[in-house]
Chain A
Amino acid sequence: MGIPGEAVTVKLLLTGTLLFVLASVFYFIRVVRSRTVPDLVLAVDVLAYDLAVFIIAFSIMCKSPYLSIGALPLVLWAYLMDMYVSKHLSRRELGD
């Protein structure tokens, strides 16, 4: 029981990456079709989480560690955007 070769690994990683790209297409359709503000924020959040996974898979396929550092700030700033918008929705102001 060993690790398969590089060609099989690249094919499997490509399959996983294309699944996440397909999911991002559906999330983008949700972003465009949403009517109310909380729907929109939720769809943008899940789109950002999905694309963070895509960034790290792409950096493994490119064998470059520098491409993968974009995932962590993308997740954290999407969370902060959540908190801003929920504060604005519940109290009509920012801060406090």
Chain B
Amino acid sequence: MPEQVYLCHVLIALFMTYALILTYKTLVERDMLKAIIYSAGQAVAYTLALTLLAAPDLVLAYVAVGVGMYTALFLFVLSRTERFEAVQGGEAT
């Protein structure tokens, strides 16, 4: 069925576009809490890309690590440090 093949590849391209835009938002974000949740959304997009690439065992490992453990780890670091990033190029406070 050529339609299913094209659907699969087009959807991989769509989810990689999601991941690219969320990576850019993570890069330019100054509030680190928002940056952490943007990276969790990027992990959801990667999960769907792995499902469409026919790797279900990687999905089982990557959802637990990417959506759950990275978010918990970064929130643990964030709750013991400061929330906002200093202005780029300006005087560090």
Instruction: Indicate if the CB atoms of A69 and B60 lie closer than 8 Å.
Output: yes
Q: Write out, one digit per residue, whether chain A residues 17-51 have a CB within 8 A of any chain B CB (1) or not (0).
A: 00001000000100110000100110010011001
Instruction: Indicate if the CB atoms of B78 and A88 lie closer than 8 Å.
Output: yes
Set of chain A residues within 8 Å of B87, measured between Cβ atoms: none
Instruction: Indicate if the CB atoms of A74 and B14 lie closer than 8 Å.
Output: no
Q: List the B residue with the shortest CB-CB distance to A95.
A: B76
Closest chain-A Cβ to B24's Cβ sits at a distance in Å of 10
Q: List the B residue with the shortest CB-CB distance to A65.
A: B56
Instruction: Indicate if the CB atoms of A74 and B25 lie closer than 8 Å.
Output: no
Residue in contact with A70 in the complex, picked from B14, B63, B71, CB distance below 8 Å: B63
Q: Is B44 an interface residue (CB 8 A)?
A: yes
Q: Is B27 an interface residue (CB 8 A)?
A: no
Instruction: Indicate if the CB atoms of B44 and A44 lie closer than 8 Å.
Output: yes
| B32-52 at interface with A (beta carbon < 8 Å) | 33-34, 37-38, 40-41, 44, 47-48, 50-52
Q: List the A residue with the shortest CB-CB distance to B70.
A: A81
Q: Write out, one digit per residue, whether chain A residues 61-96 have a CB within 8 A of any chain B CB (1) or not (0).
A: 110001101100110011011001100100011110
Residue in contact with B18 in the complex, picked from A28, A61, A66, A93, CB distance below 8 Å: A28
Instruction: Indicate if the CB atoms of A55 and B48 lie closer than 8 Å.
Output: yes
Instruction: Indicate if the CB atoms of A77 and B21 lie closer than 8 Å.
Output: no
Set of chain A residues within 8 Å of B93, measured between Cβ atoms: none
Q: Report how far A21 CA is from B76 CA in the complex, Å.
A: 33
Set of chain A residues within 8 Å of B4, measured between Cβ atoms: 61-62
Q: Which 8 A-B pairs have the closest CB atoms?
A: A70-B59, A77-B68, A77-B67, A73-B63, A93-B79, A44-B41, A66-B56, A40-B37
* A-B pairs with beta carbons under 8 Å apart, 7 shown: A14-B3, A37-B37, A61-B4, A67-B54, A81-B67, A85-B71, A93-B79
